Structure 1
């Protein structure tokens, strides 16, 4: 009797961890799409409920300060707790705040007070969630071995795509199920974002460094509710130091980002709507904004694919020059075809610099301060946009829409000249010109 020769076992291939970037981007897409749809529907529902166009501005003013504080608290949370978990909880709160609108409408009927209350609840979810999700970007790139510079181009492309799809989807939903019921879609997207984020490994959102050690070693009794307010103050202080005091490149990037938000936000949110309303062609506004978003999508995809084909400084100069020409074209308020062309040029030019500025911000912020710095950035951005729109509204009221548009174009020309000649932004490709910033340690460690 013969024994059969033993069959050699095939060695198992080494375990490869699953990619997290696709799931991270899917979560971002769900959240962004829900917010984009809600951004179109909510003002219309508010106007239909109150019958007062001033109500939207009043609601923004009422919510501005709480949103600013919530953004700071969100920064403190993301430096104290697991960022993946903060993102999940925030998306669930966002879903609940939006779902309550149609529920309240069915039971009691919506009123201005309900919009204020549920708007604040939504801010508690949206703003910390945005900070936590942003804080995960470097960890996602490191885990999947992605280039942060290219990944920022990809996320910018996703933002542009959602801006194109969201308003069209909102119009379809409002026509199919009605404005209030269409908000169920936004709630479903926020919940979907939470569920997708739940599939990401918990280690992805782990907080490392001094903040984590302090949170882990401190007993529960030493963290009363007022500790979170104190944490928000420290987050603001450390966030401002990181963004504006520790790194000249980071500080310059922040100033340009604020300029983009304030000038483009005023153009899109006030000047162009007033112009088209005065011309009794409000429907044309959508075409101009769609042309801008389509341009940003195309340029962001091109930048993501060819980011390393050109020097960073080259991308930077070309993008700034193109944006200047596009904003000048919009500021002149020419005939509609030229407005479309100017919006397209602006979008094609804005994609690369938006990705570049995002890359500088994520790349330069130390991991230990990422939550506080991004929370501070989001809070300051939320404050800067309405301030700029309010100032522009005063100019429109006092000088007219044409003068206000030219004023915004002139402001952008000044920003462009400064940005092109700023010493810290002339050597973007030389690593030695920008040494890594030193993280800010907590007070206990500094003492």
Structure 2
């Protein structure tokens, strides 16, 4: 029996699976708010649904993160994609058999959270093992991954807009379910041994209580690192939350309500694709031109441009002007996103990186739905235009605070704190999520 000296590369299969899953999620992110609004006719229902799902999502995310240290990550990724596919496919099935209502959205939304959140984390945890197995360069591979993700977030909303216009919102979800199922099939071709690398122990060695305790211990550690060790890191984390909350409220509520009211729900996808296209272009430009300007200069230019873009979107103008505002917002967000991602990587201690990023994701699961719920209440009480103006006002407050934050005043001279700079002993590398204009 001969051993193949050149084993097949698994990175292309990993990238394909990740792209398929993300493409399905991008389509669903456009279609689901529109379907919910068309079904209930109530903006508050969308915010209430987000809030109801928030706490279970956080718990699932925390427990799922702990499980990834004990169970095969490749298997969890496959199972998560299958659960996601089932939760989305059940929406058109329920619509055909019984008719959709708010209760069905809650039940299927919770089922989807069981699949989506652990699945995303499982792929993040698999990435270093995939790179090591193929003996690839991590930095180049991350660049390829982020470029592919950006392209997917451009194609996904545009595809959703086309499908909603051609076949309707609910039927478009069949493609989303098929993409998640295809992602699971592709991941099945990744050797199971890759998912077992770096595990602390088998599932038989740890009961549910120890997994839950370790998960919440990691959450406490991560929150301490994010908010109590470094001024730049704290300011970056809070600004990231502000971006996610305000932009998530625009994308998940105000814009869907606006386009539903004018009878053109498919236009939402084109606006989000324009935003993603601007973000991709400016991220590539920043990568090429970053050394030519000081970090503080990039930071201020980015915040100013984002404020202008949000102001344009907040007026809910005609489509051509709104597309220009979306492009301006995306272009302006690129440098800020890159800087915030850099600060996360540079200043979080390597041995605490998983805990810190897990804590950030868990807190976002609460903060973003809370913001969407507050926005839905404002839309119900005052209408989408006043709610949009309120979001613009919130963003200007965030901008002023971000500009004046003590930790962000001397970015080019700042060095990581002693806690952040502490060396780690053989901790696995993980990549920080770069905040974007899409939640």
Q: Residue 129 of structure 1: which of 112, 119, 133 is its match?
A: 119
Deviates more, 1:306-315 or 1:28-37: 306-315
Matches within 5 A, 1:383-398: 383-396=366-379
Q: Kindly tell me: are residues 86 and 239 of structure 1, through their superposed partners in 2, closer, same or farther at Cα, counting changes over 3 Å? A: farther
Q: Kindly tell me: are residues 395 and 94 of structure 1, through their superposed partners in 2, closer, same or farther at Cα, counting changes over 3 Å? A: closer
Query: C-alpha deviations, 1:117-169, integer Å up to 9, x for none?
Result: 33222111101112232345566677522437x936x5554444333322332
1:301 aligned residue? 284
Deviates more, 1:278-287 or 1:412-421: 278-287
Across the two proteins, how many residue pairs are aligned to each other? 419
* Cα distance in 2, alignment partners of residues 428 and 204 from structure 1: 39
Matches within 5 A, 1:20-419: 22-46=12-36, 55-103=45-93, 112-136=102-126, 144-147=136-139, 151=142, 155-173=145-163, 179-200=169-190, 208=198, 212-213=199-200, 215=201, 220=204, 223-275=206-258, 285-306=268-289, 312-333=295-316, 337-396=320-379, 401-419=384-402
- Cα shift at 1:426: 4.5
* Cα distance in 1, alignment partners of residues 104 and 309 from structure 2: 40
Q: Kindly tell me: are residues 283 and 123 of structure 1, through their superposed partners in 2, closer, same or farther at Cα, counting changes over 3 Å? A: closer
Contact 1:79 1:207 in 2 (8 A): no
* Cα distance in 1, alignment partners of residues 325 and 95 from structure 2: 42
* Cα distance in 2, alignment partners of residues 280 and 103 from structure 1: 25
Contact 2:76 2:118 in 1 (8 A): yes
Provide TM-score, normalisation by structure 2.
0.78
* Cα distance in 1, alignment partners of residues 382 and 42 from structure 2: 24
Query: C-alpha deviations, 1:381-425, integer Å up to 9, x for none?
Result: 122122112323444455665554343333323322333343433
* Cα distance in 2, alignment partners of residues 197 and 96 from structure 1: 17
* Cα distance in 2, alignment partners of residues 117 and 421 from structure 1: 43
Who wins on radius of gyration, i.e. which is larger? 1
Contact 1:250 1:361 in 2 (8 A): yes
* Cα distance in 1, alignment partners of residues 413 and 190 from structure 2: 35
Query: C-alpha deviations, 1:28-72, integer Å up to 9, x for none?
Result: 211111112223333455566667665444433332221121111
* Cα distance in 1, alignment partners of residues 168 and 50 from structure 2: 24
* Cα distance in 2, alignment partners of residues 50 and 273 from structure 1: 13
- Cα shift at 1:172: 4.4
| Aligned-residue RMSD, C-alpha | 3.9
Q: Kindly tell me: are residues 169 and 315 of structure 1, through their superposed partners in 2, closer, same or farther at Cα, counting changes over 3 Å? A: same
Q: Kindly tell me: are residues 420 and 70 of structure 1, through their superposed partners in 2, closer, same or farther at Cα, counting changes over 3 Å? A: same
Deviates more, 1:47-56 or 1:232-241: 47-56
- Cα shift at 1:320: 2.0
- Cα shift at 1:261: 0.7
Unpaired stretches in structure 1, ≥5 consecutive residues: 1-14, 442-447
- Cα shift at 1:354: 2.0
Unpaired stretches in structure 2, ≥5 consecutive residues: 426-439
Query: C-alpha deviations, 1:222-247, integer Å up to 9, x for none?
Result: 63333333233223222222322344
* Cα distance in 2, alignment partners of residues 71 and 140 from structure 1: 22
2:434 aligned residue? none
Contact 2:161 2:267 in 1 (8 A): no
Q: Kindly tell me: are residues 163 and 252 of structure 1, through their superposed partners in 2, closer, same or farther at Cα, counting changes over 3 Å? A: same
Contact 1:270 1:389 in 2 (8 A): yes
Q: Kindly tell me: are residues 419 and 80 of structure 1, through their superposed partners in 2, closer, same or farther at Cα, counting changes over 3 Å? A: farther
Query: C-alpha deviations, 1:250-281, integer Å up to 9, x for none?
Result: 32221111010112122333344455566676
Q: Kindly tell me: are residues 174 and 288 of structure 1, through their superposed partners in 2, closer, same or farther at Cα, counting changes over 3 Å? A: closer
* Cα distance in 2, alignment partners of residues 438 and 377 from structure 1: 20
Q: Kindly tell me: are residues 438 and 131 of structure 1, through their superposed partners in 2, closer, same or farther at Cα, counting changes over 3 Å? A: farther
Query: C-alpha deviations, 1:325-379, integer Å up to 9, x for none?
Result: 2223333555654433322211111123223323433454445444443332222
